[in-house]
């Protein structure tokens, strides 16, 4: 079993930055792809970013490309999401997820591919 705990959410003005963290426990996630998803009220959960085992492979939603950066520290069993130039439409609950994959280059982008989820952290961007 993998337990995931997100932190770093909060209230920020448009144009500001936040850094989310996701700490994994229970087992090492060095052979898991890690992803970030978000869900706004009344909307479906949507993909934000994902990263492969070593961090060399990443994927981003078009809406966050150039503004968000996903990274991981396998020694700390932690994945990060650096969010810059935040917009009000980025307001959502952000979830961390882990997917057991068999290729370093595999960066899943759909929720069903992920077997483990955190509880989420709220990000609110004011205009």
Residue 117 DSSP class: E
> What pLDDT, in 10s, does the model give residues 40-67?
999 999 999 999 999 999 999 999 999 9
C-alpha 15/C-alpha 88 separation (Å) is 9
> What pLDDT, in 10s, does the model give residues 12-38?
999 999 999 999 999 888 899 999 999
User: Could you tell me which residues come within 8 angstroms of residue 124 by beta carbon, excluding any fewer than 6 positions away?
Assistant: 10, 11, 12, 91
Residue 30 DSSP class: T
Spatial contact of 34 and 79, defined as CB atoms under 8 Å apart: yes
Residue 27 has what pLDDT?
86
């Amino acid at each position: 079993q993998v337990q995931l705990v997100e932190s770093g959410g909060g209230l920020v003005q448009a144009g500001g930055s936040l850094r989310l963290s996701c700490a994994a426990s229970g087992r090492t996630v060095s052979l898991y792809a890690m992803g970030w998803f978000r869900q706004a009220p009344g909307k479906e959960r949507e993909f934000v970013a994902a990263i492969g085992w070593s961090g060399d492979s990443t994927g981003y939603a078009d809406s966050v490309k150039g503004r968000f950066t996903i990274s991981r520290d396998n020694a700390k069993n932690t994945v990060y999401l650096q969010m810059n130039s935040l917009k009000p439409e980025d307001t959502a609950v952000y979830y961390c997820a882990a997917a057991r994959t068999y290729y370093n280059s595999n960066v899943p982008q759909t929720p069903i591919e992920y077997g483990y989820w955190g509880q989420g952290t709220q990000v609110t961007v004011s205009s």
